[in-house]
């Protein structure tokens, strides 16, 4: 075939491009990990590339010896779990009826939900509502409620529900199941891919959320780890704030920052490849109809 | 039986709305909590934008105390800092879009050409990874990468050039913003394209091959037209999101030294409103931003509807 040589050249070039993308994507992660296991002197001299220089776990010991760190981490875990339950439940019970074409009021409710994708209240009215009108400031609710249901996720889930075979539901109706029974016993068990997707997306969203907590959480003991990390990165930790254990303050350096970043990102990086199969499937089904 | 009844009523006469609700009330009860949530947390703040025209004096009253008309709008229209933020907003978002959009599409097409299933999956897994990193970590990574002792400056120094203070020099901000954005979002951006590609009828490829099309023509004449609706949908969404630039990232990455090129409308709103306490003024600026965004998405949608027959609604 005439094209074969040109095509072979293309495939080689394509592989090189892919290798380049992979290396560029991974390098910052590898650098960060290498840095976190290297001595401060080596980092400072700019000697670290992707392998640790003068291997040490000192910075991890410093961070893990701080009870504070576990408290922030615990807060993040708590917010993620509570927030994910609320978000996924809320998204599911909204998407389910919206996926039913026979519901006539959906002509009103669907645009009502979708409009929020294109126009929002804006930062200030949201802030006043949450902090001053509803007095949710400094509570877990300010972190997990305001962003609980996103219209985009509702569309994804609604499209998935709509793709499920309607015959099953009809058979269940004949068997005497109500809408509640159908939803709990038929629809949800068939929706594992989209449920896994929603759990991952919402969990990642809350785990990584920095701005919401920084707006609403005043007491430091309620901070999620993202806020603490932000403080370490900014090296804004003054000796006084750190209290008695001022040794950490003097040792805040590039290495501590990178270890903290590694520890914060770790759970997400570990979980996501296992859920990938589901979210790719979930997004694919969700995008077929758009 | 139930089905028959439904068909009959559709062809003849729809049941009255009341009867319809009576029959389907259980399904409607699902909506009670989420719709209440939308009213409180999405629509009330929208209504709260009214404080752009009223004076807000603090406290729980989201709607302010007295009408002041357009005076806050007049104020920011005369404000040089606002115009700087406006200009930065447009420059940053449009340049970012111009780089990211074609690159993502190209990357999706190239990924689609990969033959080995495992290789493809590996590249995808790696390329999605940065999407799951928080902005705090992204900003931290950027700072580490471009710090004076970091790898990029080490490279620059080894080539015999002077080290660069990327974080403190305004002219570098747009580059950091765009490159890091592409780094984080390139792989993730391909996911919907790849999904759309798997939906293309394989017979089209077979037919084109019989007609003598090579790989490149297949991509051009089959793949791209096949994913055009997806391309248009994503483009509309991107255009709609032009004004709302990556607020969190900028907030984490900029500093007074780089305000000159980094300050955008949303960061300006944040400083004026949350930090400065000028709630009504900041709301006026935010409302301006939101309305422009809404106009952009509506216009893009109309154009796309007419030209490519793809639309969001």
Which domain does B266 fall in, by range? 71-307
Residue B44 inside a domain? The answer is no
Confidence band for A39, pLDDT divided at 50, 70 and 90 = confident
Give every CB contact of residue B210 below 8 A, 6+ residues apart in sequence: none
Confidence band for A237, pLDDT divided at 50, 70 and 90 = very low
Which of B6, B14, B16, B27 best tests the A interface by mutation, with the highest count of A CBs <10 A? B27
ipTM: 0.90
Residue B179 inside a domain? The answer is yes
CB distance B123–A21 less than 8 Å?
Answer: yes
What local confidence, expressed as pLDDT, does residue A66 receive?
Answer: 84
Percent of chain B residues topping a pLDDT of 90: 71
B107-126 per-position pLDDT tens digit = 999 999 998 899 999 999 99
In chain B, where does DSSP find H-type helix?
2-11, 17-29, 32-38, 44-48, 71-77, 80-113, 117-128, 135-146, 151-158, 173-189, 191-198, 202-210, 215-218, 224-240, 247-253, 259-262, 265-270, 279-307
> How many Å from the N-terminal Cα to the C-terminal Cα in chain B?
34
Count the alpha carbons within 13 Å of A154 in the hemisphere toward its beta carbon. 27
What local confidence, expressed as pLDDT, does residue B13 receive?
Answer: 65
Quick check: A242 pLDDT over 60? no
B126-140 per-position pLDDT tens digit = 999 999 999 999 999
Cβ–Cβ contacts within 10 Å for residue A149, how many?
27
B168-196 per-position pLDDT tens digit = 999 999 999 999 999 999 999 999 899 88
Quick check: A105 pLDDT over 70? yes
Give the minimum alpha-carbon distance from B224 to chain A in angstroms, rounded to a whole number.
16
The string over A169-200, giving b where at least 16 C-beta atoms fall within 10 Å of a residue's C-beta and e elsewhere, is: beebeeeebebeebbeebbeebbebbbbbbbb
CB distance B135–A276 less than 8 Å?
Answer: no
Give every CB contact of residue B309 below 8 A, 6+ residues apart in sequence: B229
Which of A118-127, A187-196, B1-10 has the weakest average pLDDT?
Answer: B1-10
What local confidence, expressed as pLDDT, does residue B69 receive?
Answer: 94
Look at residue B67 and give its three-state secondary structure. strand
Residue B22 inside a domain? The answer is no
Confidence band for A44, pLDDT divided at 50, 70 and 90 = confident
Residue B62 inside a domain? The answer is no
DSSP per residue, A26-62: HHHHHHHHHHHTS-HHHHHTT--SSS-SS---HHHHH
Rounded Cα gap, residues B280 and B50, in angstroms: 9
Q: What is the pTM of this model?
A: 0.90
What local confidence, expressed as pLDDT, does residue B140 receive?
Answer: 93
Averaged over A123-128, what is the pLDDT? 96
Quick check: A54 pLDDT over 70? yes
Rounded Cα gap, residues B150 and A258, in angstroms: 12
Looking at the partner chain, which of A28, A105, A146 has a beta carbon nearest the beta carbon of B41? A146
Residue B59 inside a domain? The answer is no
What local confidence, expressed as pLDDT, does residue A241 receive?
Answer: 44
Where along chain A do the CATH 1.10.3720.10 domains lie?
67-288
Residues 280-299, chain B, touching A (beta carbon < 8 A): 282-283, 286-287, 289-290, 293-294, 297-298
What local confidence, expressed as pLDDT, does residue A279 receive?
Answer: 87
Rounded Cα gap, residues A140 and A79, in angstroms: 7
Crossing angle of helices B224-240 and B191-198, rounded to 10°: 150
In chain A, where does DSSP find H-type helix?
3-36, 40-44, 58-64, 67-98, 106-118, 123-127, 140-144, 151-163, 166-174, 179-182, 188-190, 192-208, 211-216, 225-233, 239-242, 247-251, 254-288
CB distance A230–B136 less than 8 Å?
Answer: yes
CB distance A18–B186 less than 8 Å?
Answer: no
Confidence band for A2, pLDDT divided at 50, 70 and 90 = low
Residue B123 inside a domain? The answer is yes
| CATH classification at residue B198 | 1.10.3720.10
Rounded Cα gap, residues B162 and B160, in angstroms: 7
Fold topology of A67-288: MetI-like fold (1.10.3720)
Confidence band for A286, pLDDT divided at 50, 70 and 90 = low
Q: Which two three-digit tokens encode residue A258?
A: 């990178």
Interface membership of A258 toward B (CB under 8 Å)? yes
Which of A23-27, B44-48, B105-109, B112-116 has the weakest average pLDDT?
Answer: B112-116
Residue B20 inside a domain? The answer is no
């Amino acid at each position: 075939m005439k094209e074969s040589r040109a095509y072979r050249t293309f495939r080689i070039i394509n592989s090189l491009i892919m290798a380049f993308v992979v290396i560029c994507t991974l390098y910052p992660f590898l650098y960060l990990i290498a840095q976190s296991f290297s001595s401060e002197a080596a980092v400072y001299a700019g000697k670290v590339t992707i392998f640790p220089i003068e291997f040490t776990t000192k910075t991890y010991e410093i961070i893990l010896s701080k009870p504070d760190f576990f408290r922030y981490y615990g807060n993040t875990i708590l917010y993620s779990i509570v927030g994910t339950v609320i978000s996924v439940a809320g998204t599911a019970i909204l998407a389910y009826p919206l996926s039913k074409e026979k519901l006539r009021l959906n002509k009103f409710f669907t645009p009502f939900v979708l409009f929020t994708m294109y126009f929002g209240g804006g930062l200030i009215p949201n802030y006043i509502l949450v902090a001053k009108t509803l007095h949710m400031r400094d509570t877990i609710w300010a972190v997990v409620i305001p962003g609980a249901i996103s219209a985009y996720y509702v569309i994804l889930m609604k499209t998935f529900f709509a793709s499920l075979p309607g015959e099953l539901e009809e058979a269940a109706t004949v068997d005497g199941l109500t809408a509640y029974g159908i939803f709990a016993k038929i629809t949800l068990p068939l929706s594992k891919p989209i449920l896994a997707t929603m759990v991952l997306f919402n969990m990642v969203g809350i785990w990584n959320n920095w701005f919401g907590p920084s707006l609403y959480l005043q007491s430091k003991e309620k901070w999620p780890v993202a806020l603490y990390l932000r403080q370490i990165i900014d090296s804004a930790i003054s000796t006084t704030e750190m209290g008695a254990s001022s040794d950490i303050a003097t040792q805040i350096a590039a290495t501590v920052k990178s270890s903290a970043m590694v520890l914060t990102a770790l759970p997400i990086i570990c979980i996501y490849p296992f859920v990938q199969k589901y979210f790719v499937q979930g997004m694919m089904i969700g995008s077929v109809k758009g | 039986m139930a089905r028959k009844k439904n068909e009959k009523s559709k062809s003849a006469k729809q049941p009255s709305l009341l009867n319809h609700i009576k029959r389907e009330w259980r399904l409607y009860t699902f909506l009670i909590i989420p719709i209440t949530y939308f009213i409180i947390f999405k629509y009330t703040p929208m209504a709260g934008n009214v404080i752009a025209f009223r004076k807000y004096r603090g406290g729980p009253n989201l709607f302010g105390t007295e009408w002041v008309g357009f005076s806050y709008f007049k104020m920011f229209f005369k404000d040089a800092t606002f115009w700087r933020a406006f200009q930065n907003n447009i420059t940053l978002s449009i340049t970012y879009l111009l780089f990211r959009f074609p690159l993502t599409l190209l990357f999706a097409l190239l990924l689609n050409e990969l033959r080995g299933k495992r290789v493809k999956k590996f590249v995808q897994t790696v390329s999605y990874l940065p999407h799951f990193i928080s902005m705090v970590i992204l900003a931290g990574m950027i700072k580490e990468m471009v710090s004076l002792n970091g790898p990029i400056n080490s490279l620059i120094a080894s080539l015999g050039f002077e080290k660069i203070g990327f974080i403190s020099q305004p002219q570098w901000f747009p580059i950091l913003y765009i490159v890091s954005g592409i780094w984080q979002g390139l792989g993730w951006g391909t996911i919907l394209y790849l999904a759309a590609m798997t939906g293309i009828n394989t017979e089209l490829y077979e037919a084109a091959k019989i007609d003598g099309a090579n790989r490149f023509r297949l991509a051009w004449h089959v793949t791209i037209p096949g994913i055009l609706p997806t391309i248009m949908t994503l483009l509309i969404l991107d255009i709609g999101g032009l004004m709302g630039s990556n607020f969190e990232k900028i907030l984490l990455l900029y500093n007074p030294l780089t305000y000159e090129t980094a300050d955008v409308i949303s960061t300006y709103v944040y400083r004026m409103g949350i930090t400065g306490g000028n709630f009504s003024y900041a709301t006026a600026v935010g409302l301006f931003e939101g309305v422009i965004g809404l106009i952009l998405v509506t216009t893009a949608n109309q154009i796309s509807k007419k030209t490519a027959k793809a639309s969001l609604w």
